[in-house]
A = this chain, B = another copy of it.
């Protein structure tokens, strides 16, 4: 039987994935082990591979195969769904002229350096002209891609297919008073918590031992992945059975790397559970950032910060760090779930985290729409921050300059962090309705939960919309009630 156009298209897509996964490997090495002086040549290698992948994925051969495959009768539902997503990818990719892509990457290169200096000196004016250019690029991209209501829609669509800015905004507006109230109560209750119970020295090798045992107990397959050390933790996929997690270590606080590893392992379990044979195809990739983040948050927060988890793992932790032997489970749980108002998002606890996201989403949306001028960002940030947290950042390094994302052109995806929290609570709450899963969770046995996630989420791949995944798994679209209920219960404990 001769190969159909669809077969040929699949082969071409998989060729692109050989190049992009190789580029991902070079990038992983750059972050983990590459010596400093190798940077310039590595950048050339990566840019070369990116260029080749982009040329293949946007070239005439690709377009013709895509058109021909679309004219064929689809082999099955999966093929039809893949074609639809490949068409979406192709259209979005070719709408951006090569010139714009190069311009963006150059602006980002300078923007990152400028941001680093601006944050270090806490001087927004050093970053402002770069942010202006990045916003301008983002708007041009949005115009080229097209959008229903506002430019931000086109950016959000990059990370969360089918999401609409106005709907997210309306959701966040409804959530805001509830989240603010939960946060306030949690912070008040936490005032009496003694964080010193965890004081001590935690050698890195011992943290690594505990982290690896925990990740394996969740189901992370170390024959198809590993954990390394980087300045900023991440999870990256180098191949269908090659998922690399990273973390960083604080020798005075083992929970920092442990929860980091559980978070990244959540991403990693999702990637390890995707349909391996479809690697490179939409049906073999993750659905969206909001679904991805649901997996990391589920394992980090719903599993990792629960009483049942620590009933099993505190004794083992004490074996590894004997100076903790007098710590009581209740005190330990209070310490790891202590709520505090803080300026820095990545250091925020579960009770206050979403407030940081609501803030940033609102600011970003106004910047992109043009309603908020770049020069006015610090003032707007601080005003909004005070209304949410009751305190004003001491400087812009602790305010609007804290995150690297804007400097990398990353406008439009912060909302997915809170969407991930909502999805996590809904997925976990639904899974827990199964008696088998709930019983296992109470014994810190995660195989039934993982099997459920594998079936309901991971194996679905990337062709359904995020909302379709949620309906498939839980019967309902994303609903904030689960997350609010979870936070209330956790911080009432």
User: Interface with B: A22-30, A98-106, A322-330, A463-471, which one?
Assistant: A22-30
Which of B22, B225, B239 is A22 in contact with, Cβ under 8 Å? B22
Distance between A277 CB and nearest chain B CB, rounded to angstroms: 11
> How would residues 205 to 232 of chain A score, 1 for a CB under 8 Å from any chain B CB and 0 otherwise?
0000000000000000111111010000
A15: which B residues are within 8 A, CB to CB?
A: 48
A18-B44, A35-B223 are known; give 7 further A-B pairs, CB within 8 A: A21-B41, A33-B226, A35-B226, A38-B242, A40-B241, A41-B239, A42-B242
A18: which B residues are within 8 A, CB to CB?
A: 44-45, 48
Which of B45, B48, B242 is A41 in contact with, Cβ under 8 Å? B242
> How would residues 38 to 60 of chain A score, 1 for a CB under 8 Å from any chain B CB and 0 otherwise?
10111011001100000000000
Contact indicator B37/A221 (Cβ below 8 Å): yes
Contact indicator A240/B41 (Cβ below 8 Å): yes
Identical chains bound together, number? 2
Q: Is A36 close to B, CB under 8 A? A: yes
Q: Is A341 close to B, CB under 8 A? A: no
The 10 closest A-B CB pairs, nearest first, are: A38-B242, A41-B239, A37-B241, A37-B224, A37-B223, A36-B223, A18-B48, A38-B239, A38-B241, A22-B45
A41: which B residues are within 8 A, CB to CB?
A: 21, 239-242, 279
CA distance A25 to B15 in the complex (A): 19
CA distance A29 to B244 in the complex (A): 12
Interface residues in A261-302 by Cβ distance below 8 A to B read 279
Q: Is A34 close to B, CB under 8 A? A: yes
Contact indicator B22/A49 (Cβ below 8 Å): yes
- The range of chain A's interface size is 20 to 34
Taking beta carbons and an 8 Å cutoff, which residues of A are in contact with B? 15, 18, 21-22, 25-26, 29, 33-38, 40-42, 44-45, 48-49, 221-226, 228, 238-242, 279
Which of B21, B35, B238, B279 is A241 in contact with, Cβ under 8 Å? B35
A239: which B residues are within 8 A, CB to CB?
A: 38, 41-42, 45
CA distance A29 to B33 in the complex (A): 10
23 contacts between A and B (CB under 8 A): A18-B44, A18-B45, A18-B48, A22-B22, A22-B49, A25-B25, A25-B26, A33-B228, A35-B222, A35-B223, A35-B224, A35-B225, A35-B226, A35-B241, A37-B224, A37-B242, A38-B224, A38-B239, A38-B242, A40-B241, A41-B239, A41-B242, A42-B242
CA distance A26 to B239 in the complex (A): 12
Chain B residue at minimal CB-CB distance from A15:
B48
Distance between A37 CB and nearest chain B CB, rounded to angstroms: 4
Contact indicator A35/B242 (Cβ below 8 Å): yes
CA distance A235 to B25 in the complex (A): 20
A222: which B residues are within 8 A, CB to CB?
A: 35
